[in-house]
Amino acid sequence: MTSRSFKASDSQQGKPSGVTFARRTSSGRYVNLSRESLDSEISGIEFANYTVHIPPTPDNQPMDPSISQRVEEQYVSNSLFTGGYNSVTRAHLMDKVIESETNHPQMAGAKGSSCAIPGCDGKVMSDERGEDILPCECDFKICRDCYVDAVKTGDGICPGCKESYKSTDLAENAVDPSGRPLTLPSNVSMSKMERRLSLMRSGNKSAIIRSHSGLMRSQTGDFDHNKWLFETKGTYGYGNAIWPKDGGNGNDKEDHVVGEPSELLNKPWRPLTRKLKIPAGVISPYRLLILIRVVVLGLFLQWRITNPNNDAIWLWYMSIICEVWFAISWLLDQLPKLCPVNRATDLNVLKEKFETPTPTNPTGKSDLPGIDIFVSTADPEKEPPLVTANTILSILAANYPVEKLSCYISDDGGALLTFEAMAEAASFANIWVPFCRKHNIEPRNPETYFSLKKDPYKNKVRQDFVRDRRRVKREYDEFKVRINSLPDSIRRRSDAYNAREEIKAMKLQREAAGDDLLEPIKITKATWMADGTHWPGTWMISAPEHSRGDHAGIIQVMLKPPSDEPLHGTSSDDGLIDSTEVDIRLPLLVYVSREKRPGYDHNKKAGAMNALVRASAIMSNGPFILNLDCDHYIYNSEAIREGMCFMMDRGGDRICYVQFPQRFEGIDPSDRYANHNTVFFDVNMRALDGLQGPMYVGTGCLFRRTALYGFDPPRNKEYHPGCCSCCFGRRKNNATVSSVSDDNRALRMGDFDDEEMNLASFPKRFGNSSFLIDSIPVAEFQGRPLADHPAVKNGRPPGALTIPRELLDASTVAEAISVISCWYEDKTEWGNRVGWIYGSVTEDVVTGYRMHNRGWRSIYCVTKRDAFRGTAPINLTDRLHQVLRWATGSVEIFFSRNNAFLASPKMKILQRIAYLNCGIYPFTSIFLIVYCFLPALSLFSGQFIVQSLNVTFLTYLLVITLTLCALAVLEIKWSGIALEEWWRNEQFWLIGGTSAHLAAVLQGLLKVIAGIEISFTLTSKSATDDDDEFADLYIIKWSSLMIPPIVIMMTNLIAIAVGVSRTIYSTIPQWSRLLGGVFFSFWVLAHLYPFAKGLMGRRGRTPTIVFVWSGLIAITISLLWVAINPPAGASEIGGSFQFP
């Protein structure tokens, strides 16, 4: 037969992408290392390469497939993959990833011997511990390719001792130091997709037996409806994951009913989660007060409308309009709070169901589904690499099965600094993760752990803890120094290599020119990696194809997938700590920088997240995705398990995501600018959990992968629009709905009219990657809860996910390079109906809205110990810009098709109101600013919003105020927040409403009307070790957002002085009007107090420009008002006024 080598660009659709292994020289030229590529280059395209197949003989045995795959994985993990638009996908073999030594066998560039064959610089094959695999007793070091040549073309003779290999089956030689054979996949003879797939049905007859009980039965009685999904050839557990009755072997020729083991029949079914309702003594009065306040507000507005102030009708009009809007806004905010709930998880039940030996899982391997964790960063200058590295370390040390955990770091800036910082973090994880597992460390962020002010030795019982902690602390300090020195190290290295290239160029120029005049040489200032080659991403000095918006796609497997069996460490004599009883395996860690090219819209963070979704689907395909910002780390190592309790519980297949609350560190004790935002996270989000679920807030969210793909939830009710479809929906004909089984709807999209899923349309939606499309049903099946109860629908059989993870190969990573290219999303649904949604600066809210709009529900998981912690901007200007971005996104949502008015009937009415309020709240700023000026205008004019402060007005005001306070007390009661936190939220509501929200409305209108795009800069994350922890709090950064609040403050202060002076020196003092105006002015000033305090800085020094402009504007407003509408009797007042 004939074969021809091909490159990635030559591959046909549906075939794995080819990959060229190459080594890049100092001049930038690639030298191919693959024999297939070399043969192709030599022969040329005019010739055909004939492959002669020699039948196996005792002297010519092929390499064991499992060993071949493991060795190829070693090559993959030591290669930097690059590629993209109009470029070949290359795997650049890297001898060195960072300048410091790497010693973990899973890490890229780990220690390894070089091949002893002359002219070959390949790496010797190694086992799971990184030890060399030497096939001959003479210990001759040989790489994979040379060994294959020696076996196939060298008659099986060792190049070292010239003796024949005793065995060409390397599985006999691949043993760990304890003498145990390495664990190799038992299903290596299957195809790639078959190895990915979990057990659905067996090939023998006894597997197709219906069980009368609900423990192991399929929901439709057999597995025929899943034929199109997948099948495997293996059987697991006790035969076929079923138990023969009366101890039979299940191989009888006659079909008979299969029974359950007696130990499970007597075991009660236990749920993984519980819903804890708010006590009736709290929630019932709360709902009653809401009703009372609604009634009182209605009566008050009616009285205000029917009793105008004819002396100041303009003032009355302004106040009425504002008060009506405030009443509507309050109602929209309050209605979704009618049904708050709390939830609890049971981790013991999770462990019992998924990690305890059972007849279907005799060895007790974890049956939990895989999780892919995404960490996003974009600029190492504003998001310090040390912060990101600590986040990665907390993920790698999380308490979740190592083989089921994968971490992907998205570097949208393509910076070498981030790349090498992540490599350093992977190296330090070799010490940190075993230390955390051995001593049960919490939290598992080293920076936070070593900064704890509590006693670190409390509850520690191991004798070697003090010694281990001291050693690890010293290693972490050295790690921090290496991270902090990376910018200078990269700069010095690049300068040295660039100088060398310049010297070479000048030498060549002199040799060519002779005695002629020489022109100055211009050498591109490249950025160089540790192994002496060009960095394919963004250079420190931007150049074509090496800038932030123009660089190739990059994938580097920092830590290759761990083995399926635990791997224990060594004693303290050989290592830093004694890890003989500790599993030293590390999760898969992958660095990803998507391709960027001019002319392609990269869609900011949403585009980066979608690139990770596609790449992870090909490389690990975890059915669940956890999204974290680079400054949000795992504070509770059990957090992932707690979120998984909801996904794996009964009905969990209808949950699209589990949102965790955001908790912050480094905030001043008084929380001056409400950075903790506890009212939103502990009141609003808990209340939404009682409806259809909380909103997605951008980080700390555990997603179901198929929900991100845009599929409808299983068992979704079908509607067709009617005259009242905005609130209710009419069911379709029952016969039509029930004509297709619920399980067949597991991957159904609501956009299709066909009852069956249209597989032919998948390439149009997801792109032309067959790997990606094939992974979708696998992820759907693996994300199902266990079918261990009759009420569990759309479940999977126990023990189905205990098979080993497949090994990475070059074609897999090459395909991942393809799906992160800049052109892949063209003419697909990515960003429109699939993945993170584009078109808004708050893509998180829109993405969650789309899922709820399809009928999915979400869960709010509040753990006893905070699940995640991050940083928040404590500087006033940074905080206002953060609020500005959120509010601008809300305005964009209001003017888009994601407006809650256009929601589908699948969204509950109160959930719709919550999303409607999310889009409307910035517009309150218009009315709020007017209302904040009303007290000043009243004092200037001598009038008030009512004719007089009569009993009726004061009674309404008192009742409205008392009900508001009572509601606040009850909210504090059922949410657990503090009264000070509630008051800080009220204060910042007015500060943000009079500054950032108004600017957001103007920006949103400019974008909608004029098409002016809005751009925001990243919020800087502090990583300094200053003596003052809250130094940023006192820094004053001038911003135009400060002008409206300052003007409001100064105008009210001047108005109070004018009003008091007028009343004192008037012939007939109007004390009631003065009292009303002064009271409301003080109400405004009390809310703005944190803002005023922030302007004073640390020592009360405020920029002069602030007072100059604010004073001029306030005086101008005051003089204009007095000139346009002078108070009655002004001549008498002016004529009789004298200083005492």
Give catalytic residue positions: 412, 844
In this structure, what DSSP letter does residue 3 have?
E
Token reading at 301: 């507005």
How distant is the alpha carbon of residue 665 from its chain centre? 19
Question: Is residue 886 packed enough to be buried (19+ CB in 10 Å), middle (13-18) or exposed (0-12)?
Answer: buried
Give whole-number Cα distances, 1039 to 205, 873, 879, 884, in Å. Answer: 74, 15, 11, 12
Contacts (Cβ under 8 Å, ≥6 apart) of 790 = 213, 214
d(CA 709, CA 780): 10
| Closest of 390, 546, 563 to residue 483, by C-alpha | 390
Is residue 390 within a helix (H) or strand (E), and if so which, with residue range?
A: helix 385-396
| Closest of 763, 326, 400 to residue 562, by C-alpha | 400
| Closest of 627, 645, 561 to residue 863, by C-alpha | 645
Give whole-number Cα distances, 55 to 3, 58, 59, 943, 951, in Å. Answer: 18, 10, 11, 105, 106
At 532, give phi and psi (nearest 5°).
Answer: 85, 30
d(CA 877, CA 995): 11
Give whole-number Cα distances, 259 to 200, 212, 225, 249, 264, in Å. Answer: 19, 8, 24, 12, 11
Contacts (Cβ under 8 Å, ≥6 apart) of 789 = 214, 215, 269, 650
Contacts (Cβ under 8 Å, ≥6 apart) of 909 = 727
In this structure, what DSSP letter does residue 637 have?
T
Rounded to the nearest 10 degrees, the angle between the axes of helix 979-993 and helix 924-941 is: 80
User: In sequence order, what are the beta bridge partners of 538?
Assistant: 415
Contact 118, 99 (CB under 8 A): no
Give whole-number Cα distances, 379 to 73, 357, 362, 595, 869, in Å. Answer: 31, 46, 48, 16, 20
Q: Which residues are part of a known binding site for UDP-alpha-D-glucose?
A: 376, 382-383, 412, 604
Give the strand pairing for 588-593 and 553-559.
antiparallel
d(CA 688, CA 862): 13
In this structure, what DSSP letter does residue 618 have?
H
Amino acid code (one letter) for 635: Y
Question: Is residue 269 packed enough to be buried (19+ CB in 10 Å), middle (13-18) or exposed (0-12)?
Answer: middle
d(CA 414, CA 593): 6
Sign for the CA dihedral angle at 745, 751, 757, 763 comes to negative
Q: Is 817 helix (H, G, I), strand (E, B) or coil?
A: helix
d(CA 235, CA 799): 10
Token reading at 996: 């950032």
Question: Is residue 11 packed enough to be buried (19+ CB in 10 Å), middle (13-18) or exposed (0-12)?
Answer: middle
Q: Which residues are part of a known binding site?
A: 376, 382-383, 412, 604-605, 629
Token reading at 658: 């589990």
Give the strand pairing for 20-24 and 87-93.
parallel
Query: In sequence order, what DSSP letters do the residues of 693-755 get, joined into one string?
Result: -PPP-SSSEEEEHHHHTTPPPTTPPPEE--TTTTT--EEPPHHHHHTS-SGGGTT--TT-SSS
Q: Which residues are part of a known binding site for Mn(2+)?
A: 605, 629
In this structure, what DSSP letter does residue 377 have?
E
Is residue 872 within a helix (H) or strand (E), and if so which, with residue range?
A: none
In this structure, what DSSP letter does residue 82 have?
E
